[in-house]
Each structure stands twice: as structure tokens, then as C-alpha cells.
Structure 1
Amino acid sequence: MKKTIILLLVLTCLIPQNTKAQNDGVAIAAAAGGLLAIGAGIAAVEQMKEQAELTATEWLLTNHPEYNKFSLKTLDFDGKKVKDMSATSVITFKIREFEIKDDEPELGKKVVLFGFTSFGWINEYGIDFNKVKWFMIDSEEWLNMMTSYTKVASAVADEGTIRTSLLNGKVVNRGVKANKGENIDFYKIDGDMYLVTDYSPDMKFIYNERSLGIYLKETMNLIQIGRGDLIKIHEFFFDE
């Protein structure tokens, strides 16, 4: 009887431990699988980033042969997941010209290259650049674009006031915050409301809560640029 009791006590102690060991093994395997999935996702985004930068560089060399000293970097791949990128409607690249002075690069003109995407631009093979439309701007064109956007997004109609606020401040979530000049508040509208202005023969601008919409007339695509990306582009041109 005593042996039976001892055996039962031993089994009682061992069974939870074995169960715990099995559960721990399952948890470790799941964690390892999760880490592998995360690693694969990061590698996929990094591969897409390299592919995008290579194609953008090829486009620049083909269409702007005057650029012979420059740096090119994506603005919007950092911290993104594959599912985020598949929903992205524009890829943005920062381009900076430079000259070599005393064996050191001296930075010069800044431009931004937009790659406007259309449905299906990311598939199982990577990026289909036949579904990307390219558009390059400098700081003056960006200022014109943001002036037009701010004009339709706010009650301020005077372009001189808007340009002064943009040049001496920054775009924030609710408008333009000026260090010098006038702060400009954007309209508070619902997510299903749109304010439209005809910017150029190529595009219309649409103000919607927290985003800039660019309607491409040729492809009839509506591209959304988040307010965070607007802030990054503005800082690249005027703060860096």
C-alpha cells in the first residue's frame, strides 16, 4: 500500500512537469516559427526596397542623363510590412545631387521622385514596375503643390500668405504650423467628404481628412498620400 501511495505521488509530480515540458516545447516551436515568419517578412520588404531603388535609379539615368552625381533613397519603406506595402499607392524617393570637393561630397540640389502605383503592383514575383507611373519634382514644384493643397484644405485664399507659412513652418496633422507668419488650420471634415482642385493637366488634388489625394487624369487613379509622408517630404526639402 505504501509503495502504491509513493508511486501515485511520483506520478502526480511527473505528469504536470511532462505536460509543462510539452507545452514549453510547443511554445518554443511557435515562437521560433513566428520569428522565422517575421524574418521572412523583413527580408521580403528589404528585397522590395532594393528592387524599387534599383528601378528608380534606372529610370533617373534613362530620363535625366544630366544627373551624374547623386544619392537616391526610398522615403517610405522603413518600418513597413509586406501587407502595408501592397496597399501603398505611391513610393517616394529622396534624391540629392552632390559634387566632390577636396575628396569629400558636397551636397546640392534636392528632388523627390514619386512612383505612383496601381492595383496589383506587388505580386508573388515582387514588384511589377509596369504598374508604376513616375513623376519627379523639385522644392519649387513641391511648394506650388502644397500651396494649392493648403488653399483647398483651408479657408485661407491668399497664396502669398500660404507660401510664407509653408516656407517658415511645417505641415502638421491639422494644418500648417508657421514659425514666422500665420498658422493655417485645415477644415475638419468627415472621412467621406472631399474637396477638389484642378492642379495641372496631369492631376487634381483632393483634400480628405488626414491625407492628400492626387487624382491622375491619364490613368484615372486616386492616389492617397498620408499626412506623415507629407511631413517627411516637406522636412526633406526645407529642414534637412
Structure 2
Amino acid sequence: MRKLITLLIIVLLLFPKKVEAQNNAAGALAAVAGLAAIGAGIFAADQMEEQAELTATQWILKNHPELTSFSLKTLAFNGKKLKDMSSVSVILYNIQEFQPQEKPVLNGKKQVLFGFTSNGWVSESGVNFDKVKWYLIDESEWVKMMTSYVKVASGINDNSLIKNKLIEGKIVNKGLKVNGKLVVPFFELSGDMYVVTDYSSEMKFIYNERSLGIFLKDTRDLVQIGRSEIIDIHEYFFSK
């Protein structure tokens, strides 16, 4: 909403003088209409983000009553435009517990909420959150997921080695780094190459160029998490 107001203020400041000086009302109105359309698009995207956050919070309250004081922050909506939202396959939220007090500090357990979307979740009629499947994970589940991902991305099958390197280091585009040294390099696949592993009764993992593909067995949807999101989630769990 603040973005829309800012755009309208810019319109009001810039165009009246030009209209008076050039007497070109039609051109000015067209420009105003164009900026207003951009503003409306930003406003609609902001509304969608707020609606998604509300839906995510409601899901947490319904399915995880043990969470009684927590922060929920969006990770995947940042910088998205309305026209891009229909292609978003995963919504991500960072969740962290805290102790209620006069000045609360976010220092409790960290979790990440995944919202896996199905085709058609965004349409001309709006957003259908019935087409979003929610999945909450903690640090231990993330390490388990990333161990499976790194195995399929690198060909290394030593679970203990990979787990230790994940906790000690960080994921980068080329693989796993510890103290700035690449210790587990990833395969360099082209865009049409895929390596698949069966992760659980719910999911298969697919390694592709710079992304983690997750095939949801229940809905038969293939969703993708970009390498940058993987890096962000890993840093969120293990940043000090």
C-alpha cells in the first residue's frame, strides 16, 4: 500500500506543471493512467502477499497448536511482481519462536514453512489457497533433506560426511564449502539433465542445474526451489 501511495504522490508532483506548461492533457492523463496501473499491480501483489501470510499463519495455528509465540516472515515473495506470482511454485516463510516479554528477542527454535503450489493457484479470479500444500520443517529435517540433495547432486554417498560438512559449512552454487574451501563439488548438469532420488513416501528430489526439484507424490506436482533460496534457508538455520 505504501508503494502505491508513493507512486501517486510522484504523479501529483510531476505532471500538473507539465500539463499547464505544455497544455497536453491527453498525454499527461495517459502517463498518469500508466503509473496508476503499475501502482495497482504493486498493490495487488502486496495484497496477495498479505493474504498468503494470513493463510500460512492460520495453517500454523490449526496444525501446530504447540506454537504459542512465534514470528513468521516471508522469504520467497520479496521483489515478486503480480505477473510473476502464477509461476511461483514454492512460498517460503521463516518461523522462529520467542518468549513473550516487554522487549521480545527472537532466539527460539527456528523452522521453515514451505507452501507448495499447484498449477492454477493464481488466476484472473484471484488466489486459490486450496491449491497450496503446506509443509513445516525444523533444522534436523532440513539437514536430512539437504543430505539427500547433496548426495544426488554430488554422487557422494557418505551420509555422515555430508551431514557434518552441512553443519560446519554452507551451500554455494558449486557445492558445499567449509572455511572457504569447496569440499563437496556438485555435478555440472545442463538444463535438460536430471538426477532423481526417492526421498520419502511424500517426495522425490530432482537435482537439476542450480535448483532442487521436489516431486510431490500426492498431487503429482513438480516444484522447484532455486539455489539462492536453498542458500538462504541454510544460512537461516545455521547463522550465528
- State how far apart, in whole Å, the 2-side matches of 1:219 and 1:68 are: 31
Secondary structure of residue in 2 paired with 1:68: coil
Are 2:175 and 2:182, in contact at CA under 8 Å, matched by a contact in 1? no
Are 1:165 and 1:181, in contact at CA under 8 Å, matched by a contact in 2? no
Letter in 2 for 1:104: K
- State how far apart, in whole Å, the 2-side matches of 1:146 and 1:129 are: 27
Shift of residue 29, structure 1, vs aligned partner:
4.0
Q: Deviations over 1:76-127 (max 9, x none)?
A: 11110012111001111111111024x2213200111111100110123432
Aligned match of 2:92: 92
Aligned match of 2:143: 143
Structure-1-length-normalised TM-score: 0.85
Secondary structure of residue in 1 paired with 2:193: coil
Secondary structure of residue in 2 paired with 1:177: strand
- State how far apart, in whole Å, the 2-side matches of 1:159 and 1:28 are: 64
4+ aligned runs moved over 6 Å, structure 1: none
In the alignment, structure 1 segments of 5+ residues that lack a partner are 1-19
- State how far apart, in whole Å, the 1-side matches of 2:28 and 2:167 are: 54
- State how far apart, in whole Å, the 1-side matches of 2:110 and 2:169 are: 18
After superposition, the CA RMSD in angstroms is 1.9
Secondary structure of residue in 2 paired with 1:183: strand
In the alignment, structure 2 segments of 5+ residues that lack a partner are 1-20
Aligned match of 1:239: 239
Secondary structure of residue in 2 paired with 1:76: coil
- State how far apart, in whole Å, the 1-side matches of 2:212 and 2:25 are: 49
Are 1:165 and 1:182, in contact at CA under 8 Å, matched by a contact in 2? no
Structure-2-length-normalised TM-score: 0.85
Does residue 193 in structure 1 map to residue 193 in structure 2? yes
Letter in 1 for 2:170: K
Letter in 2 for 1:137: I
Structure 2 counterparts to residues 35-184 of structure 1, below 5 A: 35-101=35-101, 103-106=102-105, 107-179=107-179, 183-184=183-184
Q: Which protein is bigger by CA-based radius of gyration?
A: 1
Aligned match of 1:4: none
Shift of residue 196, structure 1, vs aligned partner:
0.4
Shift of residue 183, structure 1, vs aligned partner:
2.1
Shift of residue 181, structure 1, vs aligned partner:
7.5
